[in-house]
Structure 1
Amino acid sequence: MTVTAKAVAAQPTEAVLVDLPSNPVPAGARAGYFRTEDNVRLRYATWPRAAEGHRGTICLVHGRTEFIEKYFETIEDFRRRGFAVATFDWRGQGGSERLIGNPRHGHVERFSDYWLDLKSFHRQILLPECPPPFYLVGHSMGGLASLFSAIEDRMMFDRVFLSAPMIGLPNQPLPFAGMAWLTKTLCFLGLSQMPVSRPADRIPTHEAFEGNPLTSDLTRYMRTVDVYAARPELAIGPPTLGWASAAFSAMAEAARDVFPARVRVPVLMLVAASDKVVASPVTEQLGLRMRTGRHIVIAGARHELFMENDAIRAQVFAAFDAFITEQSG
């Protein structure tokens, strides 16, 4: 497959978004870089609303391995509803600064570093450049980071909408606290940057579509493949033990009895019924225990709800509209 990409540069610091015929950049993009409080360089992009009215801004945060370009269609869906959109690539992935020598391994030192990313983005980009109110939309790993942000500062976002949040991972030999202890011990022994892999972490390819755990929609799956072909440096593969240790520690914290009561922002979590990437039952259990949140199960859906087929996406956006669109503006 031959992919022709046009690099779309935007003010003010020469960040680049990949523009493809199969995945065009939505009109009005403004892209750049900012630095977090601990001096990590992150790529971001913002868009104005594309419809009449004033509903505020969607702050969109991605899952592990993901990047801005993957969400162009979804960004347009938000803009057509009257929202501005702001998003960024987490540290260690996408077009943001990589943290270790091997740029293909996903790594983070502490899960709270993602909170630093989001807090810095809110202060430097959202507050000065984007219209309030602010709504947080998080997928997978970004969903777990979003829950912690709702605890750290409940005034940052009016509502939080989560797609298949990474509250737990399936098929683990120990409880999350035990996995956190085991992986932390291995990191202490000097193995923090060693990659750990599972089938769900494979980089998408055309040949891997059949039976993939992410989406049943070939066209949306291939958009990601096309972006990787045009800009291979956006891709990351397996996470490191350091990332696993950070993630299991965060999941262990979310499993504590006191955690649900600490979340005081309205939250809606969508559960993909056919998810093989994250442990859906763990999300359902959390949804039943939260005072300000609940969950909805989307039948037949695989992990990437925003990348799924039209019928599933229609359910996702019906839930979004009831929870955010109809409550905004």
Structure 2
Amino acid sequence: MDQSAPKPENIIHDTPDNPAPENATAGYFETRDNKKLRYAIFRSSVTRASGTVVLLQGRNETIEKYYETIRDLTDAGLWVATFDWRGQGGSERLLKNSIAGHVQRFSDYEDDLEYFLENIVLPDARLPFFIIGHSTGSLIALSAAPRLANRVEKMALSAPFVGMQDGRFGEPMLRFMVGAASMFGFGRKSPTGNKRSNLVFEGNSLTSDRQRFARNRAIYDTCPDFILGGPTFRWLSECFRAMKRVHRPAHLASIRIPTLLLGAGADTIVPIETVEELASHFRASELITIDHAQHELFQEADIFREQVMAAIKAFMPGEL
């Protein structure tokens, strides 16, 4: 590690009921196109580590949101390396309107992941490498997976963002609308505006656990610069393109990494039927559905979250 890097406490943050795990190294790295992204590596206190998990967050998430899961993994003898995606959390924002959730190209996410693996994780972390992803992070992993076979041993992907609930429009019409908006110069605008989302627990679509919901909201109250609004038309259009790509049988056949798919049975963001359809064509995968769970499986109530961690325990090394 770079000994001149800033101290972790100046980069990653605590809230009263969410202290950072010990043995952390944090800093920033510059991507190939000179974006500044925040990262952290958490070392296990177990003498003989079983490997390193590269933890890929979902949209509008941060390193701090995963402290509980990181602690579970390091207690199991695994190191954890993670970073905030470009345009969110403590990483560099991409627009003057910093609250807009934007990306110019979906491939930028994949390039950032590969750069992180090659330049931050590989030199300093413990082999073998595993990926745990959630939602958008899972979609990025699926899209990049054919190129990661020689570096990643296994993947566990929670509520992969491989489809979207239809809402008022069918998904084909929604794809057309956001693609047209992006093409005609509205790509940097958000269809939902700049309002901060998920402010109240009642009726939220993420978790049934009130305590974890409040804990996660406190992160944004403590670090208001982390706040993100709705996705832009361009972000949606690029994600729809990636969804279409990862559903192709030829793409799925090219993934050689054993993959555990974790579906949320009561997900109102990603239809469980879409995850099941993808799994049916994905020979390297196994699907486990957590019945009645909402979208954020790592932030869910213990009755659901414990099933998720047990499934990962059976799939990856270490004892959770």
* Same fold at TM > 0.5: yes
Match of 1:99?
A: 94
Match of 1:311?
A: 303
Match of 2:240?
A: 248
Give the Å deviation of 1:83.
0.2
Match of 2:27?
A: 32
Contact conserved, 1:180 with 1:252, CA < 8 A, in 2? no
Amino acid at match of 1:221: F
Contact conserved, 1:204 with 1:224, CA < 8 A, in 2? no
Q: In the alignment, which of 18, 35, 55 is matched to residue 50 of structure 2? A: 55
Distance 1:181 1:149 in 2: 24
Residue 12 in 1 paired to residue 5 in 2? yes
Give the Å deviation of 1:180.
4.2
Contact conserved, 1:64 with 1:140, CA < 8 A, in 2? yes
**Overall identity of the aligned pairs, in %:** 40
Amino acid at match of 2:261: M
Question: Residues 63-102 of structure 1: matches in 2 within 5 Å?
Answer: 63-102=58-97
Question: Residues 189-208 of structure 1: matches in 2 within 5 Å?
Answer: 189-197=184-192, 203-205=197-199, 208=200
Contact conserved, 1:179 with 1:248, CA < 8 A, in 2? no
Amino acid at match of 2:165: P
Amino acid at match of 2:184: L
Residue 130 in 1 paired to residue 122 in 2? no
Distance 2:4 2:290 in 1: 39
Q: In the alignment, which of 309, 312, 317 is matched to residue 325 of structure 1? A: 317
Number of residue pairs matched by the alignment:
313
Distance 1:35 1:237 in 2: 24
Amino acid at match of 1:280: I
Scaled by the length of structure 1, what TM-score is found?
Answer: 0.90
Structure 1 residues 40-49 or 179-188, which shifts more?
A: 179-188
Contact conserved, 1:166 with 1:279, CA < 8 A, in 2? no
Residue 282 in 1 paired to residue 274 in 2? yes
Match of 1:4?
A: none
Give the Å deviation of 1:45.
0.4
SS at 2:12 equivalent:
strand
Amino acid at match of 1:100: L
Contact conserved, 2:196 with 2:228, CA < 8 A, in 1? no
Distance 1:175 1:218 in 2: 31
Distance 2:149 2:175 in 1: 27
Distance 1:257 1:174 in 2: 23
Residue 117 in 1 paired to residue 76 in 2? no
Q: In the alignment, which of 260, 264, 276 is matched to residue 272 of structure 1? A: 264
Distance 2:304 2:181 in 1: 40
Amino acid at match of 2:16: P
Structure 1 residues 111-120 or 150-159, which shifts more?
A: 150-159
Give the Å deviation of 1:326.
5.9
Consecutive aligned runs of 4 or more in structure 1 exceeding 3 Å deviation? 172-176, 178-182
Match of 2:38?
A: 43
Supply the RMSD in Å over aligned alpha carbons. 1.9
Give the Å deviation of 1:13.
3.9
Distance 1:72 1:63 in 2: 15
CA shift digits 1:86-136 (9 cap, x unpaired): 000000000000001111110001111110110111111101111110000
Distance 2:196 2:135 in 1: 16
SS at 1:249 equivalent:
helix
Contact conserved, 2:54 with 2:130, CA < 8 A, in 1? yes
Give the Å deviation of 1:20.
1.7
Distance 2:52 2:161 in 1: 24
SS at 1:143 equivalent:
helix
Match of 1:140?
A: 135
Give the Å deviation of 1:204.
3.0
Amino acid at match of 2:5: P
Residue 230 in 1 paired to residue 222 in 2? yes
Give the Å deviation of 1:225.
1.1
Give the Å deviation of 1:167.
0.6
CA shift digits 1:270-304 (9 cap, x unpaired): 00000011122111111121111121100111000
Scaled by the length of structure 2, what TM-score is found?
Answer: 0.93
Contact conserved, 2:43 with 2:78, CA < 8 A, in 1? yes
